[in-house]
Amino acid sequence: MGRRNLMTGTSLASRLGGLAVAAALGAATIMPAAAADDTIKVGVLHSLSGTMAISETTLKDVMEMLVAEQNKKGGLLGKQLEAVVVDPASDWPLFAEKARELIEVQKVDAVFGCWTSVSRKSVLPVFEELNSILFYPVQYEGEESSRNIFYTGAAPNQQAIPAVDYLMENEGVERWVLAGTDYVYPRTTNKILEAYLKSHGVAEEDIMINYTPFGHSDWQTIVADIKKFGSAGKKTAVVSTINGDANVPFYKELGNQGIKAEDIPVVAFSVGEEELAGIDTAPLVGHLAAWNYFQSVEAPANAEFIQAWHDFTKNADRVTNDPMEAHYIGFNMWVKAVEKAGTTDPDAVIDALVGVAVPNLTGGYSAMMPNHHITKPVLIGEIQEDGQFFTVWQTPGLVAGDAWSNYLPDSKVLISDWREPLSCGNFNTETGKCGGKGS
């Protein structure tokens, strides 16, 4: 693929992270509940151990930084903030237990957490039952809108669809490998992508779909199958929804079998600067990722954020990434909504959040939409030798996240609007009825 000039399009996101996770920072100690009267508690629900620690530990760290910075500004509503950190350990049912602990025992006023969709779906009923607030910072499959969840990561129309458009229009891709980890996000995203590709004339035999378990390490056969699939005389690309530490042996095996980016490019949705840090990037150079932010973005707000991050971690080598920016946006939206409402009461804050706009790190403002998704730019980045991304494509403006896909028959008739009088996450425009809570 090689280094290329910046191109603009109509919708895409690029923001990727590094690999060597700073697990050394560990989990913060949970403060006693007696401190609740003196502080406003912020829950942090991210895996600090297990297969997802490679991605989630840095999100715990950035939340601690954001809380510390807000306290330097005088706190919130005249009180200091306190980060309450728990470790759900990449164990999906444990996410629900830890969420309940944060809300019922620790009495947090909002929670920032989860990475995988299965972890989010595990905690969703807890947040709805206890009427608390979750800010979810990671790209996901859509097909959900809960009154109690604010989705600050990308929906498919802010990442997956634009990535496919880029590969079609700029790389001439005709055959598609949809490779993912075996859980809800990859399966639903690939269901959307398969429908989207077929709507654009791609034949079924030109789509290969493969799923592997979390932590999968033996990629020899699968990569051989990808290589064979790509040898049919049509330009082939891999759209990767592989999550967590399985990415390391996957890219290594691509290199082992001589699959180069110019032959079969991989565009990843879960590989960023954090996943790339500390590994040999030679096999990955030229491959792509789609995000809404990259550390390499040149903007004053980003330079300030990176400097604050390095100062906080006391490590100039620590990278930033897209989900970190999503927490930056979500946290500042929550602070602004609490100030607007004059209280941390969940109902008041939930209502106040819609319409709130705060600076993002790419030089603009992101706004919270009535469907509890935000507006974001979309970028495509090419992996460089230093583990950073060179932006090769980006949208000319912001893209509003869709809760429900236009490419699935049961979803294209649904809209989400949590404002009164609709106050519905899955309103059917054909029947004129709300389908329930919306999740």
Residue 249 lies in a domain: no
Name residue 250's amino acid.
F
Residue 35 lies in a domain: yes
Residue 33 lies in a domain: yes
| Res 5: pLDDT | 32
Give SS3 for 29. Answer: coil
Residues 158 and 220 sit within 8 Å (Cβ to Cβ): no
- Among candidates 275, 273, 255, which has minimal Cα distance to 264? 255
Instruction: Determine the structural domain holding residue 332 and report its residue range.
Output: 23-154+298-374
| Res 348: pLDDT | 98
Contact partners, residue 182, CB within 8 Å, separation at least 6: 211, 212, 213, 214
HSE-up (13 A, CA, CB side) for residue 277: 20
| Res 283: pLDDT | 82
Name residue 347's amino acid.
D
Residue 105 lies in a domain: yes
Question: Which tokens go with 134?
Answer: 């979750």
Using left for φ > 0, alpha for ψ between -120 and 50, and beta otherwise, residue 425 falls in alpha
Give SS3 for 336. Answer: helix
Which residues of the chain fall short of a pLDDT of 50? Answer: 1-36
Name residue 370's amino acid.
P
Q: Which residue has the tokens 């100039």?
A: 316
**What is the C-alpha to C-alpha distance for residues 285 and 29, in angstroms, rounded to an integer?**
39
| Strands across the sheet containing 424-428 | 414-417, 424-428, 433-434
Contact partners, residue 190, CB within 8 Å, separation at least 6: 178, 180, 209, 239, 241
Residues 382 and 12 sit within 8 Å (Cβ to Cβ): no
Buried b or exposed e, range 57-73, using 16+ CB within 10 angstroms = bbbbbbbbbbbeebbee
Residues 23 and 57 sit within 8 Å (Cβ to Cβ): yes
- Among candidates 293, 296, 301, which has minimal Cα distance to 322? 293
| Res 248: pLDDT | 87
Residue 25 φ/ψ, nearest 5 degrees: -70, -25
| Res 10: pLDDT | 31
Residue 82 lies in a domain: yes
Q: DSSP H helical segments within 6-90, as ranges? A: 53-72
Residues 370 and 418 sit within 8 Å (Cβ to Cβ): yes
**What is the C-alpha to C-alpha distance for residues 239 and 116, in angstroms, rounded to an integer?**
18
Question: Which tokens go with 228?
Answer: 């064979």
| Res 13: pLDDT | 31
Residues 381 and 322 sit within 8 Å (Cβ to Cβ): no
Residues 350 and 338 sit within 8 Å (Cβ to Cβ): no
| Res 24: pLDDT | 32
Residues 112 and 127 sit within 8 Å (Cβ to Cβ): no
Question: Which tokens go with 338?
Answer: 């609490």
| Res 278: pLDDT | 72
Vertex 91 angle, CA 150 and 125, to 5°:
40
Q: What is the CATH number of the domain that holds 366?
A: 3.40.50.2300
Q: How many structural domains comprise the chain?
A: 1
**What is the C-alpha to C-alpha distance for residues 11 and 400, in angstroms, rounded to an integer?**
10
- What are the CA-CA distances from residue 278 to residues 18, 55, 193, 386 (Å)? 7, 13, 32, 10
Taking residue 129's Cβ as centre, other Cβ atoms within 10 Å add up to 11
| Res 280: pLDDT | 83
